[in-house]
Amino acid sequence: MDLTVKTLEGKDAGTISLSDAVFGLEPREDIIARVVRWQLAKKQQGTHKTKGRAEVSRTGSKMYKQKGTGRARHHSARAPQFRGGGKAHGPVVRSHAFDLPKKVRALGLRHALSAKLRAESLIIVDDLAAAEAKTKLLAGNFETLGLTNALIIGGAEVDTNFALAAKNIPNVDVLPVQGINVYDILRRGTLVLSKAAVEALEERFK
């Protein structure tokens, strides 16, 4: 499939042929959803924690004698039914991550790329470079391209001036091609790829 290549100024810069194996798949929502769930679960901190009865600072002595009081038989004031006692079955520090096969993760990325192309939300730019780190100039270029909510993927290294200029623009993320992922592709309206990024992705999925 051929797609027009744009410059940052919004002008045409020829065409590029995209691989059907990477950009031409019929998007499957189930695979994309599996990858997104895997990413979010891996990202979750899991640092929530409450103190159990072994961790609260209270006396461990028996509250009152076992028999003869007419009250229920209790031992420690650390038990969860008492004010100041430990929490029963509370959350503990743990990892929420789970395994997902590498092939499924790769397939999910290809389906996400294909979904953006099918939705006509994919733009190819010849080069992501700025002469100077001026946010105002870059914001003007984005307005010309119609970018208000976008993920921009550069080559192996993102141009320093371009990254600095884009840093202050809201709803715009800039990543090198190694950092491309399904969740970030879906959370932004438009996907912008440099020619170097397209070549790297097609080489990766050969």
pLDDT per residue of the chain (206 residues) written in tens, 0 to 9: 888 999 988 888 889 999 999 999 999 999 999 999 999 999 999 999 999 999 999 988 999 999 999 999 999 999 999 999 999 999 999 999 999 999 999 999 999 999 999 999 999 999 899 888 999 999 999 999 999 999 999 998 999 999 999 999 999 999 999 999 999 999 999 999 999 999 999 999 98
Q: Tell me what pLDDT residue 13 has.
A: 86
pLDDT score at 10: 86
Task: Give the CATH number, domain containing residue 1.
Answer: 3.40.1370.10
Q: Tell me, what's the pLDDT at 56? A: 94
Domain of 39 in residue numbering reads as 1-43+96-203
Verify that 160 and 194 share a domain, yes or no: yes
Residues 37, 42, 43: CA angle, nearest 5 degrees? 100
pLDDT at residue 114, rounded to an integer: 96
Do 62 and 153 belong to one domain?
no
Same domain, 59 and 79: yes
Q: Which two tokens stand for residue 130?
A: 């700025």
SS3 81: coil
| Number of domains, the chain | 2
Please tell me the predicted confidence (pLDDT) of residue 1: 80
- Stated as kind and residue range, the H or E segment containing 17 is strand 12-17
Count of beta carbons in the 10 Å neighbourhood of residue 64: 12
Q: Is residue 31 a contact partner of residue 101, using CB atoms and an 8 Å limit?
A: no
